[in-house]
Amino acid sequence: MKGETLKDTIETVANYVDLIVLRHPYDGAARWAADVTTNRMKRGHKKVPIINGGDGKNEHPTQAMLDLYSIKKTQKRIDGLDIAIVGDLKYGRTVHSLAYALALYDCRIRFVAPEILQIPEHIEAYLKRRNVKYTKHSKIEEVISDVDIIYMTRIQKERFPDENEYNKVRGIFKLNRSMLSKAKTTMRVLHPLPRVDEISVDVDEDIRAYYFEQAGNGIPVRMALLSLILGGEENE
Amino acid sequence: MSEYTANVKLNTTKKGLIVRLIKDGTVIDHIPPGKGIKIAELLNLFNQDSVVIIGQNLESTKYGKKDIIKVENRFLKSEEYNKISLIAPYATINIIKNYEIVEKKKVVIPDVLEDVALCNNANCISNKEPVPSKLYVISKEPLIVMCHYCGYEFSGENIRLKT
Ligand SMILES: [Zn+2]
């Protein structure tokens, strides 16, 4: 991609394929790509859907779908749950998509992050408009005994515009097994992976650890998504 | 420009005279005080030959104080109405032909700002690549907009117009 615009890449690749999964460093890239293929369709070409595989620090919707699936699978419901989201809520695109997705259900969200990494204002405004129940916290200990899901995220150095800002918050949240003693036994720990040090390895042995299975849930969820978009269910 | 301002001030005491000063052109009235220059810049009024008069801090019965712009031989395009509405939501546009007001319009903030203003998110694709900007107006008072591409939502006070 030697300086080629995203528009040109999409205009080109759309001739080769039936569907494009796009991961891109800029926010809103997937929406723009979808506009490009829609305009292409208006010029008489076939439809080429775009799946957002993560755009900058904006969203990662297929991760949110597998997160919802994992929550439902472990808790048998989504409505009425108390869900903590921990870590980098400002730059974490999986968090943004999960917050938007949970806003469609009747659950309580606890955003746990240091002030500078709290959930972005525009997402908070969205949650307020939808009357979503949420609170903001600075410590995992404040919420761990109440929640049904604790969704850990890593603090990613590459998302920070400024290294000093990163150094102030790296390693600030660490979930270990002794902290889990205060949690419900039915509580489950989720993480979009890969982890760095925000979940210590002793948690892996606890019944509440679900992050590796969660990653596995990406397969059926993404298969279902491809099938829905490409009409695969007709071939069963 | 100071003599123009003085001229305008004198004429405001006699209602209506201000408008009749130009033969053909546009008068933009009810601009918030201090925003007149900004709108003149936005409309590129300084890079042309015709007469431009900017009045600042004139008395306004409705709003206390106001700015006013008068420009000769210049009529506005619809995207210019949109731009003005973002800075001066209560502005009135008077179209003057042969010293008479032939049309009086109020600016209206559109529901969608197509390629008028920039997204406030520096990492947005619309600021990184040649992409037409698109902002949805989700509230007019106070003005709040949301980017079509990245979903970023921000207040009208922070809006930067495309030049
Ligand atoms: Zn944007």
Say whether A6 and B148 touch across the interface (CB within 8 A): no
Say whether B153 and A126 touch across the interface (CB within 8 A): yes
Write down the mean pLDDT value for chain A. Answer: 94
**In a shared domain, residues A99 and A192:** yes
In this prediction, residue B19 carries a pLDDT of 45
Residues of chain B contacting A125 with CB distance shorter than 8 Å: 153
The A-side interface with B (CB below 8 A) comprises 5-7, 24-29, 31-32, 55-59, 121-122, 125-126
Count of all residues that appear for chain B in the document: 163
Contact between A83 and A95 (Cβ < 8 Å): no
Rounded-to-integer distance, Cα A140 and Cα A173, Å: 8
Rounded-to-integer distance, Cα A129 and Cα A111, Å: 17
Q: Using 50, 70 and 90 to split pLDDT, how confident is the model at A163?
A: confident
Computed on alpha carbons and rounded to an integer, the radius of gyration of chain B in Å comes to 17
**In a shared domain, residues A76 and A167:** yes
Say whether B126 and A28 touch across the interface (CB within 8 A): yes
In CATH, what number is assigned to the domain containing residue A174? 3.40.50.1370
Rounded-to-integer distance, Cα A124 and Cα A68, Å: 20
Q: For an interface test with B, give the residue of A10, A24, A27 to mutate (most B CBs within 10 A).
A: A27
Which of B153, B132, B134, B133 has its CA nearest to residue B144? Answer: B153
In CATH, what number is assigned to the domain containing residue B26? 3.30.70.140
Contact between A84 and A143 (Cβ < 8 Å): yes
**In a shared domain, residues B152 and B72:** no
Say whether B129 and A6 touch across the interface (CB within 8 A): yes
Kindly report the pTM of this predicted structure. 0.83
Residues of chain B contacting A6 with CB distance shorter than 8 Å: 125, 129
Tell me which residues of chain B have a pLDDT lower than 70: 1-20
Query: Which residue in the set B146, B149, B154 is minimally distant from A32, CB to CB?
Result: B149
**In a shared domain, residues A102 and A51:** no
pLDDT for A94-119, tens place per residue?
Answer: 999 999 999 999 999 999 999 989 99
Residue A233 lies in a domain: no
Contacts A–B by Cβ distance under 8 A: 58
B80 min Cα distance to partner chain A (Å): 25
Q: For an interface test with A, give the residue of B114, B131, B139, B157 to mutate (most A CBs within 10 A).
A: B131
Domain span at B147: 112-161
pLDDT for B67-89, tens place per residue?
Answer: 999 999 999 988 888 889 988 88
pLDDT for A186-221, tens place per residue?
Answer: 999 999 999 998 999 999 999 999 999 999 999 999
Q: Is B121 on the interface with A (CB under 8 A)?
A: yes
In CATH, what number is assigned to the domain containing residue B122? 2.30.30.20
Rounded-to-integer distance, Cα B35 and Cα A22, Å: 43
Structural domains counted in chain B: 2
Domain span at A43: 6-56
**In a shared domain, residues B89 and B14:** yes
This complex has an ipTM of 0.89
Rounded-to-integer distance, Cα B126 and Cα B103, Å: 36
Which amino acid, one-letter code, is at A143?
V
**In a shared domain, residues B72 and B147:** no
Q: Is B136 on the interface with A (CB under 8 A)?
A: no
Query: Which residue in the set B124, B148, B153 is minimally distant from A26, CB to CB?
Result: B124
